[in-house]
Amino acid sequence: MPIGAGTPNLIEYAEIWTSALDQQTQQQATSGWMESNSSRIQYTGGKKVRVPTLYTTGLGDYMRGTGAAHRGKYAKGSAELKYTDYELEMDRSAEFSFDRHDVDESGFIIQAPAVVGEFQRNNVIPEIDSFRYSRIASIVMAAGGGKAQTLTDTTILEEFLKQVRAMQNITGRSTADLVATMPFSVWSILEIAAKKSMQLLPQQFTQGGLSFEVNSVNGIPIIPVVEDRMRTAYIFHDGETELGYEPDEDAQTINWIITPRNLPIAISKTDNLKVFDPDTNQGGDDWLIQYRKYHDLWIMKNQVNQIVLSVTPPIV
């Protein structure tokens, strides 16, 4: 349905909004930096994606030649790229309507992206963050990792650094490669301890094409998060009787997750944003927007030992 001469139609506007919504998610989610790793994923629409894994062999001896007729030989290694097919686990949706008499065409074009953008900011982005942090925690705990502990102002910095060093002893990862995520309540204690020991410094951090300043401890950038997003398990309601999500009653609070920046593979896609004008909408005399968001997160099995996880003790 044309809006005016030389202007995009509703389908073209929907495509523009879809791209903007995906960018908003990557920039405003506290876990948005994880999506930079999704460039390795082949996404063709819908729920299906292909995730690549590179397999390489080790070294062998170089066989020296004995003259022009017998040249030296290199050990025969190989590099093989294999793809595994996955389906995005989270397939979430919402529908918004605007009464024909509340907005005209030009008003709808102005209001619609603002409404959906606010919906993403208040509802979608917190849910995506919560899903990702709980997914990482569940993967680590299922592998027998993670530490349940109560942190205090006298132990928090020592525990933080000790757990990082234990991971480095296994993986050899540099602190420059790491990102630490924790609730504001934990960060407020660690921040004071790090200031006293002069290990708190500003550091540039990039995410979704934006660069901003964060605090770092011993060179590790800290991403503070609202505590409600840092639980080990959530219930994501199906929308039949209840919308949104909430922590599982047995969920523990996450103290921190420390992971190499290139390790979590996260993806979120706004798929087929549908926009209907009142004359096309058969369900009512309304402007109608149908919103659908796919998202998921993966950690490769051989990389789980590179994640540091601290949680509060379970409630008994």
- Secondary structure (H, E, C), 211-224: EEEEEEECCEEEEE
State how far the Cα of 134 lies from the Cα of 211, in Å rounded to an integer: 26
Q: What is residue 4's predicted lDDT score, i.e. its pLDDT?
A: 38
State how far the Cα of 235 lies from the Cα of 306, in Å rounded to an integer: 27
Q: What is residue 75's predicted lDDT score, i.e. its pLDDT?
A: 84
Q: Which residue has the higher pLDDT, 96 or 148?
A: 148
Examine the pLDDT at 266 and tell me if it is beyond 60: yes
Q: What is residue 110's predicted lDDT score, i.e. its pLDDT?
A: 61
Q: What is residue 114's predicted lDDT score, i.e. its pLDDT?
A: 80
Specify the length of the chain in residues.
316
Which of 5-9, 75-79, 141-145 has the weakest average pLDDT? 5-9
Nearest to 304 by CA among 133, 139, 181: 139
Nearest to 123 by CA among 91, 93, 90, 97: 93
Residue 17's contacts (CB-CB under 8 Å, 6 or more residues apart) are 112, 113, 116, 273
Q: What is residue 226's predicted lDDT score, i.e. its pLDDT?
A: 97
Q: What is residue 17's predicted lDDT score, i.e. its pLDDT?
A: 66
Which of 1-15, 70-84, 124-138, 172-186 has the weakest average pLDDT? 1-15
pTM of the predicted model as reported, rounded to 2 decimal places? 0.84
Q: What is residue 3's predicted lDDT score, i.e. its pLDDT?
A: 38
DSSP state of 40: G
How much of the chain, in percent, has pLDDT values that exceed 70?
89
Write down the mean pLDDT value for the chain: 86
Convert the pLDDT of each residue in 127-179 to its tens digit. Answer: 999 999 999 999 999 999 999 999 999 999 999 999 999 999 988 989 889 99
Tokens of 71: 């040249």
